[in-house]
Chain A
Amino acid sequence: MMPILVLQGARFGDLLQSKRLLLTLKSRGEVHLGVDKSLAPLAGSIYPGIEIHAFNFHVKPCRQALEENKKCLALWRDLDFRAVYNCNFSPLTAALCRCFEPERVFGYRPSAGGILCSSWVRAAFRLSERRRMTPLNLTDFWGHFAPAPLPAHKVNPLPRPGGQGLGVVLAGREARRSLPVSLLAEIVRCVFYALDGPRIRLLGTKAECPSARRLVRLLPSKMHRHIEDLSGKTDWPGLAGAVEGLDTLVTPDTGTMHLGAHLGVPVLAFFLSSAFCHETGPYGQGHHVWQAACACAPCLESAPCRAEIRCRKAFLSKNFLPALASLVEGKTLDHRLCCEDLQLWKSDLDELGGRFQLCAGVDEHDRQRGFLRCHLAKLSRLPLADSLREAGPDPAAAPSPEMGAWLYRDADWMLPPGRYC
C-alpha cells in the first residue's frame, strides 16, 4: 500500500502533540514524517518505525538548505504518497503541499487563493473564538485529522513515579507563560518537602542557565546537594534521558512537559497567560495542571499584556502552597481554594480524547464545555458513550440560542459538510 506523509513543521511540543495522529496512521500503513531538521533526531527516538524526513523549515534561507530541501521534495515525489496530512496553518507547509494532488492533502489544503481548511479544522477554529469554553486538546485536534483515530488511552502511558526524583523545567519559550523564578523557587521547595527530599534536575536551554543559578540561590542551602543543574547541558537524547523515570515534572506549558507525558512521567504543570490546559495540557490520565483563571485568561500570545501579567498573582494566594503540598502528598483537597482566579485540573480521557476534570476552584464553563465535547464527537462521528456524557452536567441539552447561532452556520447545514474552504 502507498505510504502516508505527515507534515509537522512546528516546534518541539507540537511534534509530541502530533502523536495520536501519527500512531493512528502508523497502525494503518507506512508513515513518513516531515519535520524541521533540528527536531529530526528527537522525532526518530519518539516515533520508532516512522520514517523521518529532515526539512529546513526554520533556518535562514541559504543555498545548502535549499539543495537539501529540493532533494527531500524529489524523494517525496518518488514515494507517491496516498495521503498527506498537513498539520500546520502555515504558508511554508502549504507551499510544500503544492507538489501533491490537492485531494490527497488533508487538514490544511493549499489552493491558488490560499490555505483551505477541512470541516474539522473550521469547527476547531470556531471554538477558538471562545477559548474559555474550548474543550479540544491539540493532540486530539490533530488526532482527528484521520477518521476513527486510535483510542486516547493508547497514546501515552499511564503516568507513574519512576524513582528518579523531581524535574523542574525552568521556563518555556515565551517568558510570559512561565512563573517568575522567585515563585518557582517557592513551588520547588514545597514539592521537594512534600516528596520527602528527592533529587532535583533543573531542565532548560542555555538561555535558562542564569535562571537556574538564581533558582538555586533562592532555595535553602540544604537542598543544594540534591540539585543537578542540566540547563544548557542536554541535547535531545540527553533531555529525554533526564526526563525519563522522574517522579514528578514541575513545568509550565512546554515541549518538555509533553515529553514527560509521552514518557509516562507524572506532570505537575502551572499554566498562565495564553497557556490553557484544555488546549495544550499534558495528554493522558492523572496529570495535574494549576490554571490561572482570571478574567483575561487565556490571553492571546501575540498581544501585549495590558494587565501587568495579573494572572501570576493567582499563584501568590496564601492558600496556594498549602494546597499544592496537599496535592503532592496525596491528601484531600479543599475544593475552594480561596482564590477565585486559580483552578486545579486533573487530566483524563474519553472517546473524543483528552479532557480535564476540575479538582479545585470554580469553572463557569463546565456545561458549555461538556456540550461542545458532544458537538465535536458528533462531528467526528463518534458514538456518544457514557464517559462523554459525564463530561458536563447535561451535555446533550440544547445550547442557548446565542450559542446555537455561534455553532451552527447556514453553510454547515446547507452545503456539503466535508468540503474544504
Chain B
Amino acid sequence: MTNNANARPRRQLTLQKKQNLTGWIFLLPATILIVWMSFYPMVRAFIVSLQRGKPTALQFSEPLWRNYERMLQDKVFVQSLINTFTYLIIQVPIMLVLALIFASLLNMKDLKFKGIFRTCIFLPCATALVSYSIIFRTMFSYDGMVNAVLVSMHILKEPVNWLNDPIGAKAVIIIALIWRWTGYNMVFYLSSMQSIDYSIYEAARIDGAGAWTQLTKITMPLLKPIILVTAIMSTNGTLQLYDESVNLTNGGPANMSITMSHYIYNTTFVTSPNFGYAAAMSFVILLFVAVLSGIQMKVGDKR
C-alpha cells in the first residue's frame, strides 16, 4: 500500500524529469552550434576590444577600457550613433505597422490574386542591392523622378538634392529600409495569422467592430509573440545597418548618414586598420541591442 502510494508520485516526477531532459536534448545541437560559431569568436573579439596596436601585434591597452573611452571623443562615432538611432526610431515602428496592415489585407478570405500581391510585396527584400541602390539613387537624384513628382504636385516648391542633404539622405535611407523589409516582416505575420480562426473576425464584425478595431483588438494581441520576434529582429537589423549606408549615400554628405556598422567596417578595412577600436564599437552595439531587446521582452513576452 504505502509502497504503491510512494511509487506513483516518484514515477511522475521521473517522467517530468525525463521530459525536462528531453527538452534539453532538443536544445543541445542548436545551442552547441551557437556557442561554437558565435560565442567563442565573440569572446575572442571582446579580448581584442581591450587591445590596441597594429593588427598583427595587438597588446592590451592601458587602461584596459581605453578603446571604450575613446568613443566619446570620436565625433564620427557619435554622429553614426545619432544617425543609427534616428533610423531605428522612425523606421522600425512604421515598417512593422505597415507589415501588419499588409498581412491583414492579404489574409482576407475574399481577396483575389493574393498569391501575386504577396509575392510582389515580398520581392523587395529579394531584390539585389546592386539594382535597387542604382534605382533609388536615380529616383532621388536632383533631376530624378521623386523631385519631378513632388514638384508637379506642389508638395515641394523646388527640387531637393536628397542624397546631398543631411536630412534628405537620412530620409532616403529610411524610405529604402521600409521599402525593403516590410514584405519580409509581413511573411511572419501571415504565417502566424493562420492559427487565428476566421470565425473570431466574423463574430467581431457582427458585434460591429471595424477593420482597425479588428487589427488592434484581435490580430495584434494574438500575434504578440511574433510581433515581439520581428521587433527584436528589426531593432537588431537596424542597429547593425550597413548596406544602405554604403550603397545609397556612402555615409554622406559629410558623415551625416553613416551608420555604426559602416563606420566599424571602415575602421577595420578601409582606413588604416584599428581592430581593437572596431571591436570595442561592436560591443557597444551589442549592449544597445541587448538592452533594447531586454526591454521589448519585458514588455511583450508575458505569458
Are chains A and B native binding partners rather than an unrelated pairing? no
Which residues of B are in contact with A by a Cβ distance under 8 Å? none
Which residues of A are in contact with B by a Cβ distance under 8 Å? none
